Amino acid sequence: MKLNSKSFGYSTWLLVAAITSGTVLTLSCVPRHRHSSKNSADSASQPVAKVNPNEGLNPAPPPPPPAAPVPSNPKTGNVNIDRFLELWTNIHNMSNGYFSPEGIPYHAIETLIVEAPDYGHETTSETYSYWVWLESMYGKVTNDWTHLDRAWRNLEYYMIPKHVDQPTNVAYNPTKTATYAPEMDRPDDYPVALQGTVAVGLDPIGKELRDTYGYTDIYAMHWLMDVDNWYGFGNRGDGTSHGSLFNTFQRGIQESVWETVPQPCWDEFNWGGKFGYLDLFVADSKPAKQWKYTNAPDADARAVQAMYWAKKWADERGGNPTVDGIAKKASTMGDFVRYSFFDKYFKKLGCKDPSCPQGTGYDSAHYLLSWYFAWGGAIPGGGIWAWRIGSSHTHSGYQNPMAAYALSHDPALRPTSPNGARDWGTSMTRQLEFYRWLQSNEGGFAGGATNSWNGRYMAPPAGTKTFYGLPYVESPVYMDPPSNEWFGFQVWSIERLAEYYYVSGDPKAEMMLERWVKWVKKNTKLLPDGTYQIPSTLKWSGQPANDWNESSQSWDAKDANYNNSLHVQVTQFTDDVGTTAGLVHTLEFYAAKKGDKEARILCKELLDRMWTKFRDDKGISSPEQRADAKRFNEKVFVPANWQGKMPNGDPIGNKSTFLSIRSKYKQDPAFKQVEAFLKGGKPPEFHYHRFWSQTHIALAYATYGWLFPKF
């Protein structure tokens, strides 16, 4: 059963590394991954680097939580700016529940919510990136940048692994990045064996980053955090600390969130089975204790995108040293996110067999924002080794040409490394080409491409079209539900394209946006009763018409038959407020640059109708019926004879279900609705207040007030 499209606030899938004594394993993971990397003997050749100066050996104290509650701001006279300020105040009122006592933003106010995060009081790097975006806009409106400062300090302290969380990076050898493991299709295909005989390529940016910054830590966010330590992992195995970094997805494209086994990023074998959780994923007789983190590049890129605007808006008012300092950190983050540009095992593009040639430099770079990159290593006392991987899988919904533009063109955000700005400039061009290759005949953008067919470097079916050697994939990374059926990925990604167009005036972006906006207008309904409907679920057919590379491109804006072999159909509609805000935000930038009055009026109608119909005392929320709640009783695959326990004592075995290893859900006040449904009642209905959704709504109002102050 597929998830309700409204639930798809986020879906980044992980990977985990499993290391055995002497071998750095890098399990591969599409939707949920893992790896390993060769190590131990190689560590002696690596120079000792400085500790990340953002932390030092003794991390700074945590930043303070938001002041609570924040009083309402004075009215500005601009109705949509005033709506933004109302929503901003709702979010910052601590009694509304958007933030933890530590000031960490929750994924949602509500706790009983299962989507990419499997509990509402977890958080994601996506949530943090939206927080940075929210405070950037607040700075524009008020010239108060203290909230942006607090947001980035909190992000840096809690979501970027500290030096003590990634302590053995000094052992990483860019010439021996990781040990290959195939990605399988289903959870019951795991654990998988590492294959040390498969050659992996060279990491062309590892030494450059170390030499540029003087330390070997990765300055990037891990994607998932247990804010209140609901599971009980804690940090570094302490079992008690809040803001605990952990993982869920690990086992193939068919593993939905309902089939996952949560596990800590720092696995010291305190919980799980004999070897913690590692031997659920890696077939190894003696896996080693280790740490491992996975980055969702679209989130970090969104944070950079937000800082572009913060810097621009602050400079318009004479500049601000706090914003300048954060912009520098965002630049560093962008430098490290380049790991997402490379094939998972640094193989050359066009790989069709695990024995295909390994990359020796940038010949393994697709220059796109791929689904993830990951890094890991030994827990001190168990050896000195570390590994890193990129990702072979690319999705149109993750691209961000606005961030690429900022990191390649804006002096305040251009990375310090010798090749960082150059690489982001190449990425900007490549992303635009990717959009063009994937744009359907109707206007919607199709899924993506991969350099590792089926996650195992297999040969794709004959006739599959390619993008710089990467074969087309309709729904990259995951299939439960198909990753590109959610319209939200359209608005998330194309909003960034629209911002890029607004800033640059690039005719290529304009050409693609014209077709997309026409398609959206055709499929958006303003109903006589004051309600509305926008696309929700998409169905795809066909594939791009041609292979695409440097010498074979099509940019004829008048070609009405372009990609007439690739089609999209809207099969379901919605009034979901977060997706609606993303659509409005996209149309606003396009309408302002193009002078499209019809698009501007559509934006205003959607904003007004959303405010009238769905405004409540905590934000804006529409009802969601969650028939997928029947999956609380879904079986979670655990190999025969594998026995273990969660930190609270929940047993893990071959009879486990989603709920049985999350028995604390039974204590949730909202679980009564789920329980009644599981006994044959009607599906539960909730009003969710997701942080990303509320922020995007607020941004849509503020952006309209900014770009169209007279309307």
Q: How far apart are CA 661 and CA 654, in angstroms?
A: 12
pLDDT for the residue numbered 663: 98
Q: What average pLDDT score do residues 534-559 get?
A: 96
pLDDT, residue 6, reads: 35
Mean of pLDDT values over 572-600? 98
Beta strand spans in 655-702 (E): 685-687
In which band, very low, low, confident or very high, does the pLDDT at 68 lie, cut at 50, 70 and 90?
A: low
pLDDT-derived band at 372 (thresholds 50, 70, 90) equals very high
What's the average model confidence in pLDDT over 11-21? 35
Percent of the chain scoring above 90 in pLDDT: 89
First to last CA, the chain: 44
Span 658-693, pLDDT tens digits: 999 999 999 999 999 999 999 999 999 999 999 999
What domains sit in the chain, N to C, each tagged with a CATH number?
5-71+79-619+689-707 (1.50.10.10), 628-686 (4.10.870.10)
User: What is the helix (H) or strand (E) element at residue 264, kind and residue range?
Assistant: strand 263-264
Average pLDDT over residues 224-237: 98
Strands 122-124 and 263-264, sheet pairing: unpaired
Of 615, 592, 587, 589, which is closest to residue 603 (Cα–Cα)?
Answer: 587
Cα(183)–Cα(504) distance, integer angstroms:
40
- The helix (run of H) or strand (run of E) holding residue 413 is none
Q: Are the beta carbons of 643 and 597 closer than 8 angstroms? A: no
Task: Please name the residues in contact with 359: beta carbons below 8 A apart, sequence gap of 6 or more.
Answer: 201, 202, 204, 342, 343, 346, 347, 348, 365
Mean pLDDT of 457-478: 98
Identify the pLDDT of residue 72: 63
Q: For this structure, is 529 an active site residue?
A: yes
Q: Tens digit of pLDDT for each residue in 166-214?
A: 999 999 999 999 999 999 999 999 999 999 999 999 999 999 999 999 9
Confidence category of residue 554, pLDDT binned at 50, 70, 90:
very high
93, two tokens = 């009122």
CA distances from 8 to 11, 542, 625, 686 (A): 7, 25, 14, 15
pLDDT one-digit tens code per residue, 617-661: 999 999 999 999 999 999 999 999 999 999 999 999 999 999 999
Q: Is the separation of the CB atoms in 396 and 493 below 8 Å? A: yes
Nearest alpha carbon to residue 467 among 380, 563, 376, 558: 563
Residue 120 has pLDDT above 60, yes or no: yes
pLDDT surpassing 70 at residue 611: yes
Kindly report whether the global pTM for this prediction surpasses the value 0.85.
Answer: yes
Q: How far apart are CA 711 and CA 600, in angstroms?
A: 9
Write the CB contacts of 162 (distance below 8 Å, at least 6 apart in sequence): 52, 55, 59
Helices then strands, counting H and E runs in the chain, come out as 14, 24
| pLDDT above 60 (res 46) | no
Cα–Cα distance, 339 to 580 (Å, whole number): 32
- What confidence tens digit (pLDDT) does each residue in 314-329 have? 999 999 999 999 999 9
Q: Tens digit of pLDDT for each residue in 287-341?
A: 999 999 999 999 999 999 999 999 999 999 999 999 999 999 999 999 999 999 9
Q: Which two tokens mark 585?
A: 């935000």
382 pLDDT band (50/70/90 cuts)? confident
Helix (H) or strand (E) holding 420: helix 420-438
Mean pLDDT of 692-704: 98
Give the residue carrying structure tokens 């605007």: 309
Which tokens in the block code for residue 532? 């509305």
Identify the residue with better confidence: 502 or 32.
Answer: 502
DSSP bridge partners of 540? 568
Q: Is the pLDDT of residue 226 over 80?
A: yes
**Which residues on adjacent β-strands are paired with residue 347?**
358
Instruction: Return the closest-CA partner of residue 418 out of 202, 206, 208, 207.
Output: 208
Phi, psi of 645 (to 5 degrees): -140, 145
The mean pLDDT of 12-33, rounded to a whole number, is 36
- pLDDT of 403 over the 50 cut: yes
52 confidence band (pLDDT: 50, 70, 90): low
Give phi and psi for 215, each to the nearest 5.
-145, 165
Q: Which residues contact 469 (CB under 8 A, 6 or more apart)?
A: 349, 350, 451, 549
Assign 69 a pLDDT band (cuts: 50, 70, 90). low
> What are the φ and ψ backbone dihedral angles of 198, each rounded to 5 degrees?
-80, 125
Instruction: Indicate if the pLDDT at residue 33 is higher than 60.
Output: no
Q: Closest Cα to residue 491, out of 513, 470, 469?
A: 513
- Strand ranges in 265-382 using DSSP code E only, listed in sequence order: 266-267, 287-288, 290-295, 373-378
Q: Which member of 149, 189, 203, 529 is catalytic?
A: 529
Identify the pLDDT of residue 16: 35
